[in-house]
A and B are shown apart, each in its own frame.
Chain A
């Protein structure tokens, strides 16, 4: 529900966050009333020249008293921390079957892309009651993807991926804001989240101008940008093969081991000398400034598809 004091509640997380908010609010009101009441009471009763009894402090107002309320406050703080954090831990990781959507932020626009390649600008259609995972990166400065109705916010950084997820519970159109200050038109970097029912989403997706799906698009980029010259099965150049690479552990030439995830693949395209796979010469040139973020996302999707586990991501 929404009111003049509360934003609309449109995701599972929103319910939880509001719950914590109400409890903290009630707790704060009690403390404020207590402190205000005591100050008001003392101010009136012990105003200068009043007839109230004073004398020495009663023996209960001693060091033990002080230790008592210190411990009580500490215990209360620990309890609230425990209660809040335990509800947080369960929501940390997106469900396995989450719908994956890529987000690229730039000054001052949001570009979103669905798994079949359909793109939107400053808008995102999502189905209701479905976990949706956002994989986000920025082309320039730090932005932040903020949907108040979902109580969800995550910074979007250049040069790396950040992830978050939500499960919408209400049909409608909701605000999307950029919450991290990003320059002149920061306050105009807004958009709409459109939550539709599952059938409508399928229909909407089908009606989009048929972009190739991401992996297919990546395959085109793979050839167009010359990646296939070294990395294809038939190439004579000694370069790592990409079949089955995604998600595997990769031994590096300096002895470290990394998992070939999205961040690693991105780094390998843009900074190939940083993490050289063991047994290969560092001969790959950097593609920084050549590949756009959109192309990197497509290439990554293509490489993932070569591992044949596209559904089973993350």
Chain B
């Protein structure tokens, strides 16, 4: 440990790390430290991730046979609904923003905490309250509406606990809004001296763009769910056509949130992957400006494409064509990002540690997910494949292949920073590769069976679809095994792992300039920034050999 500034490094704090700053339960549940709140989020979403995973494992098990021998129709419907509701609102939406966003945003901009630390803690409690409300719905009997809560089924016909589930999502929505407001204020107000907008790491940009979407879109979801509750509970005629209501209105409102919500889930993943690819390729990110514009562009255009979920719903065909047009346009910035990540590898010094394997997996799976999005933006093809397994496969490529891969990439990349320990890299690489193959075994067959015409949410299905369902179910269990590995070896590393230095990956970025794990106040002195991010080598000079690389050796202290 040293407190002398060497080679642009910051002096390290002599304070205990944030983990050592208190060991009581109260010191965790009452904390306002953004890093501890990130850990609280991580624990909660891990719980929900495995809960949602168990639900879908039962569904996949049932789908081994066309007759659906294992479960009753209603149980099956409740399980896939539970999987969807939990995974979307209690895992995906808060996953990267709640954990890495909370942990890293202040560190990356050189701040001591987020702008509103108590609001930050409050938003975790809101999330927890929402989660318990929805879990209550499960415990007392479940919900069978699908995660989409389509009316008039959800308001007039379902005999399950729709109100509790919707209320849970409603409450969790406020957690999203509070987090979004907090991150926007933090990014605007708390950047360290010299941290100009175009010196921000791409992860910060991604969290900033995500926060804008959260703040603007989530209130619409809140209103929509309130309307569902009002109609179901108070019998106010809103969506019920018998009294002049409009069932399609719900779909417009719902997708006005839920399409941007896709970008809430995938933009932070793009941020994570940008950090990792540059670090392990030892390159500046290719086209930094374009990466920023692309993310902001995705966030903005993402608000105007919701109608592509409704091509067969009975909306005007002319509206459909406009939505189809905008959906093709929104593909462009995503494509640009894929090209730029690939170009970043060019002339790099590429290493294949676990985080990079996950990030490369992201790149491949996100590309497939994005391209199949073009099929769905094409009206005639969408008419055929919407509400089939083709759509299921498509959005799992984006959400699981994309976001979950990026989540694991980030977890491994920043694990040393968060815990101060190193995990066994061989195990981690094995899990990354297993996850990639397990994922493809599970979801690729679904594209085929979807185009063959198998509708989603089907408990029993014609026998000619069985071969694809068996493949998919078998793959799901490979994938489940892959997901069980990281909790095991990461927990192992907490006790037996080698202690990490401040910067084991030898990465740029302010979060690597403080100790691992960082102290409560993050930095001993306020850092001053005078260069663009990702300075893996001096301007205009790419190193020929590892030895010549700027900042080659990881800091082992």
| Contacts A46-B281, A184-B77 given; does A13 touch B342 at CB 8 Å | no
Q: How many residues does chain A have at the interface if contact means C-beta atoms less than 8 Å apart?
A: 85
Contact B462 A175 (CB under 8 A): yes
Q: Does A141 count as interface, using CB distance less than 8 angstroms?
A: yes
Q: Does A43 count as interface, using CB distance less than 8 angstroms?
A: yes
Contact flags (1/0) for B114-155 with A, using CB distance below 8 Å? 000000000000000000000000000000111010101100
Which residues 125-156 of A sit at the B interface, judged by CB distance below 8 A? 140-142, 144, 146, 148-149, 151-155
Contact B381 A20 (CB under 8 A): yes
Across the interface, B241 reaches (CB within 8 A) one of A54, A146, A157, A180, namely A157
Size bracket of the B interface: 35 or more
Taking the closest CB of chain A, its distance from the CB of B489, in whole angstroms, is: 24
| Contacts A39-B360, A180-B150 given; does A54 touch B378 at CB 8 Å | no
Across the interface, B383 reaches (CB within 8 A) one of A4, A5, A17, A70, namely A17
Taking the closest CB of chain A, its distance from the CB of B30, in whole angstroms, is: 43
Across the interface, A48 reaches (CB within 8 A) one of B351, B367, B387, namely B351
Kindly list chain B residues whose C-beta atoms are within 8 Å of the C-beta of A5: 448, 451-452
Contact A53 B544 (CB under 8 A): yes
Across the interface, A35 reaches (CB within 8 A) one of B342, B377, B461, namely B342
Q: Tally of A-B residue pairs with Cβ under 8 A?
A: 258
A156 and B169 alpha carbons, distance in the complex (Å): 28
Binding stretch for chain B, among A80-88, A109-117, A277-285: A80-88
Contact B346 A20 (CB under 8 A): no
Binding stretch for chain A, among B2-10, B332-340, B398-406, B520-528: B332-340
Contact B314 A179 (CB under 8 A): no
Contact B455 A159 (CB under 8 A): no
| Contacts A28-B371, A42-B346, A183-B153 given; does A152 touch B363 at CB 8 Å | no
Contact A184 B350 (CB under 8 A): no
Q: Does A207 count as interface, using CB distance less than 8 angstroms?
A: no
Taking the closest CB of chain B, its distance from the CB of A294, in whole angstroms, is: 17
Taking the closest CB of chain B, its distance from the CB of A170, in whole angstroms, is: 15
Q: Does A92 count as interface, using CB distance less than 8 angstroms?
A: yes
Binding stretch for chain B, among A185-193, A196-204, A217-225, A302-310: A185-193
Kindly list chain A residues whose C-beta atoms are within 8 Å of the C-beta of B156: 140-141
A193 and B290 alpha carbons, distance in the complex (Å): 51
Which residues 38-72 of A sit at the B interface, judged by CB distance below 8 A? 38-39, 42-43, 46-49, 52-57, 61, 63, 66, 69-70
A162 and B310 alpha carbons, distance in the complex (Å): 13
A76 and B452 alpha carbons, distance in the complex (Å): 28
Binding site for B on A (CB under 8 A): 4-7, 13, 16-17, 20-21, 24, 27-28, 31-32, 35-36, 38-39, 42-43, 46-49, 52-57, 61, 63, 66, 69-70, 73-74, 77-78, 80-81, 84-85, 87-89, 91-92, 107, 140-142, 144, 146, 148-149, 151-155, 157-160, 162, 175, 177-188, 190, 270-271, 274, 288-289
Can you list 25 residue pairs at the A/B interface with Cβ under 8 Å? A6-B451, A7-B452, A17-B380, A28-B371, A32-B368, A42-B342, A55-B544, A57-B542, A61-B343, A61-B346, A70-B336, A77-B331, A80-B378, A81-B324, A85-B379, A88-B321, A148-B453, A158-B242, A159-B245, A175-B462, A183-B144, A184-B74, A187-B460, A188-B460, A289-B242
